[in-house]
């Protein structure tokens, strides 16, 4: 029998990352391969702008992962980002059919499905489509929110709360096309923030209240969890690339600005930096420019401060309070490596901020523990989880229809 193989492809503004995992007989996932390739301008602010370039990068990353894992990938889960990816809550209520005049009826799977469908009845702009529908809980006759479907309980009315994530239809089609052009099929599409959250956050943190902030090159993907469910999802423009660009203000080439950012910046320790001189090459590399670390740290601090301000603004606009987030903020993505970023973010936002790393999976290579891999690792974990759930539902109840319809939506696009 062929083992269960799962693949995840994260197409970022800087890199494509592919992870392949295999489920063992106990259902535990083991990473068997990983690959990475630069997107070289084919993805801007998380959105594909050059099909050929992006497909080339995907092929390269996938081939590397395939050669390590020695499995050929046929289907892959893929993440989507960009500020067109948005989330909002939905609520649907249905009357439960009474047994007779005096006795209220029992909630059935059909009622659950009807309430979920009613919750999804919203008018979307023509260019948008529903990408995911997360279940957030149920209420019967004024009870507090129940996380499990209250099937069999007697009730007059049933309310389902959901959280929907929508995306621009064209961006989704382009993403699917890139994967097809790279010779693979798309098995599922997940918002990048949900994927990163799945591999980085613990169930305890999600229960208490936490924010996952994945800061990449050009986008910052945000997912807020409370009571174990997704409470808010957004993508804001900006990431590590804006800090690199800010450093170029001192008239240096991009690669030198990138080197400064990785080697010399320490946002938290900037008050301790003296006037240590750093030598960087000028544009064209014909001369060198002397600069102090105090100056470069100040530039990086201002740029990072703007980004942190935007994150804070997004949380405030969504009505999320400090008290909703006892587990604080967990960072992932390549920019989480920027020295001092977490302590400066914690000071500005006023809650604990930590750097997370992908987990919840067996991995032999330490490369995958890198924060840039959070998203791709999360994709294989989510795919495995969804597959298990789908199989279980197919066996036990007709709600399996919902799962297949959500999966089917991706196919219907073509
Ligand atoms: N050690 C480091 N210090 C500071 N920044 C770093 C470091 N390593 C990587 N980065 C930054 O991380 C970013 C790339 O991260 P990542 O691979 O998560 O982005 P991406 O997923 O391709 O992009 P996006 O999610 O924005 O579409 C780049 O801006 C890079 O400069
Ligand atoms: Mg990313």
What is the domain partition of the chain in residue ranges?
Answer: 86-169, 240-303
Q: How far is the CA of 391 from the centre of ligand 2 (A)?
A: 30
**Nearest ligand 1 atom to alpha carbon 81:** 27
* Same fold across 86-169 and 240-303: no
Residue 83 Cα to ligand 1 middle (Å)? 18
Number of the ligand closest to the Cα of 46: 1
Confidence of residue 289 (pLDDT cuts 50, 70, 90): confident
Topology annotation, domain 86-169? Dna Ligase; domain 1 (3.30.1490)
User: Which atom belonging to ligand 1 lies closest to the Cα atom of 39?
Assistant: 22
Distance 242 CA to ligand 1 centre (A): 11
Ligand 1: which residue has its CA nearest to atom 31? 240
Residue of 192, 216, 300 to mutate, ligand 1, most atoms within 8 A of C-beta: 216
The closest ligand to the CA of 239 turns out to be 1
Q: What per-residue confidence (pLDDT) applies to 406?
A: 36
Ligand nearest to the CA of 216: 1
According to the model, what pLDDT value does residue 303 have?
A: 97
CA of 102 relative to ligand 2 center, distance in Å = 56
Quick one: pLDDT band at residue 287, thresholds 50, 70, 90?
Answer: confident
Tens of pLDDT along 55-72? 999 999 999 999 998 889
Rounded distance from Cα 187 to ligand 1 centre (Å): 26
Give the residue, 148 or 308, on which the prediction is more confident. Answer: 308
Mean pLDDT of 151-173: 96
pLDDT grade for 182, boundaries at 50, 70 and 90? very high
Answer whether residue 145 shows pLDDT above 70.
yes
Q: Among 335, 345, 377, which residue has the most ligand 1 atoms within 8 Å of its CB, making it the best to mutate?
A: 335
Please answer whether residues 140 and 99 qualify as being in contact, where contact means their C-beta atoms are separated by less than 8 angstroms. Answer: no
Which atom of ligand 1 lies nearest, measured to the CA of 261?
4
pLDDT digits (tens, 9 = 90+) for 68-79: 988 899 999 999
Q: Closest ligand to 370 CA?
A: 1
Residue-level length of the chain: 414
Calculate how far, in angstroms, residue 45's C-alpha sits from the geometric centre of ligand 1.
12
Can you give the pLDDT at residue 98?
92
User: Of all atoms in ligand 1, which is nearest to the CA of residue 13?
Assistant: 27
Residues with CB under 6 A from ligand 1: 12-15, 46, 81, 216-219, 239-241, 244, 258, 261-262, 333-335, 337-338, 372
Q: Report how far ligand 1's centroid is from the alpha carbon of 51 (Å).
A: 21
Distance from Cα 241 to the centre of ligand 2, integer Å:
12
For 297-355, how does the pLDDT look when each residue is reduced to its tens digit (9 = 90+)?
999 999 999 999 999 999 999 999 999 999 999 999 999 999 999 999 999 999 999 99
Q: Which CATH superfamily is domain 240-303 in?
A: ATPase, substrate binding domain, subdomain 4 (3.90.640.10)
Tell which one of 15, 38, 217 to mutate to probe ligand 1, the residue whose CB is within 8 A of the most ligand atoms: 217
Question: 0.85 cut: is pTM over it?
Answer: yes
How many other C-beta atoms are found inside a 10 Å radius of the C-beta of residue 92? 17
């Amino acid at each position: 029998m062929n083992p269960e193989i799962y693949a995840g492809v994260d197409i970022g503004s800087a890199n494509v990352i592919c992870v392949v995992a295999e489920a063992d007989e106990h259902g535990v996932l083991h990473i068997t391969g990983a690959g990475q390739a630069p997107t070289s301008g084919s993805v801007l602010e998380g959105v594909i702008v050059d099909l050929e370039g992006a497909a080339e990068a995907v092929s390269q990353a996938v081939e590397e992962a395939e050669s390590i894992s020695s499995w050929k990938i046929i289907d892959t889960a893929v993440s989507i980002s960009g500020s067109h990816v948005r989330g909002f809550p939905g609520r649907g209520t249905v009357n439960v059919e009474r047994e007779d005049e005096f006795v209220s009826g029992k909630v059935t799977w059909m009622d659950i499905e009807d309430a979920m469908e009613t919750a999804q009845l919203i008018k979307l702009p023509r260019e948008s489509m529903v990408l995911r529908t997360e279940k957030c809980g149920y209420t019967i006759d004024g009870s507090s929110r129940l996380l499990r479907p209250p099937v069999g309980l007697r009730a007059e009315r049933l309310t389902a709360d959901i959280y929907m994530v929508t995306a621009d239809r064209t961006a989704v089609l382009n993403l699917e096309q890139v994967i097809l052009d790279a010779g693979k099929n798309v098995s599922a599409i997940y918002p990048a923030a949900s994927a990163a959250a799945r591999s980085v956050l613990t169930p305890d943190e999600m229960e208490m209240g936490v924010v996952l902030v994945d800061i990449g090159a050009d986008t910052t993907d945000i997912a807020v969890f409370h009571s174990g469910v997704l409470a808010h999802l957004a993508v804001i423009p900006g990431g590590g690339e804006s800090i690199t660009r800010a450093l170029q203000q001192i008239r240096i080439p991009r690669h030198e600005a990138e080197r400064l950012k990785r080697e010399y910046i320490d946002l938290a320790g900037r008050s301790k930096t003296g006037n240590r001189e750093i030598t960087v090459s000028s544009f064209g590399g014909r001369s060198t420019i002397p600069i102090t670390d105090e100056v470069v740290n100040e530039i990086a601090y201002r740029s990072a401060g703007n980004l942190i301000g935007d994150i804070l603004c997004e949380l405030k606009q969504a009505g999320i309070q400090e008290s909703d987030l006892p587990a604080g903020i967990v960072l992932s993505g390549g920019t989480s490596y920027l020295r001092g970023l977490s302590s400066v973010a914690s000071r500005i936002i006023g809650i604990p901020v930590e750097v997370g790393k992908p987990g919840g999976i067996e991995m032999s290579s330490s490369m995958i523990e890198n924060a840039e891999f959070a998203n791709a690792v999360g994709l294989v974990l989510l795919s495995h989880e969804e597959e298990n759930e789908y199989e279980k539902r197919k066996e036990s109840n007709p709600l399996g229809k919902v799962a297949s319809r959500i999966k089917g939506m991706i196919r219907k696009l073509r």
